[in-house]
Structure 1
């Protein structure tokens, strides 16, 4: 018996987990989770999602942090996915009186969401990085509007 055979599994080659790097599997999982959540909400009659401003702020700060070099493409893609979900969540919220500035901000958000939709063509690394930063800026603006609206509601009650 050889030395490497004494430890179970020592002769196996280490392989990375496919699920951790497979973006198509992540996309299918997120679609299934959204479907389940939508079905659950329709059954319970609850229409709103909870908005976690702390998590949104952390994601935005990480995306807008200054860097010397471009970050890894996988990180950029993951951050775009997070920011896209956060922005879609904030767009569903009632932000009060829709003035011209809020309307223009909503149009910008819709254009950015169209650029990062799953059906959009893949972007080069620098374009994806710039899209991530634009999404982060727009998400930050909507988060501020949401916080102002929540504080106005609390003062009004």
Structure 2
């Protein structure tokens, strides 16, 4: 049976179409979220204690300088990259990020905003203040995928 592609970037509420129903079944009813993608590991082994951010953690809140941005983020990860680019241009590189694991656990990271040359122009990552070897990026995922990565049932 051929599958239809649905345009998930449109904000319309025409969820009654067959392609939208197929799309919902494929991904569940999970919402799209911005999540952490670990780029470089810690040299201290702290990432194994659960205190450090891990791939799949769901970003709940970012503080760039004195401005706080809460989820859901407009335009997801691309919107965050625009915020990061603006902050970097004005030398406001101090970032405090709060993430959620599962439904009731939280972790935080105080980091410095730095360009991510490997990802291309105008792409940024966070480098931990406590451990400069530890770096994380951001990616759009479905919440269900994040919970799978976290090992939460």
If the length of structure 1 is used for normalisation, what is the TM-score?
0.23
More helix by proportion, 1 or 2?
A: 1
Larger radius of gyration, structure 1 or 2? Answer: 1
Structure with the larger strand share: 2
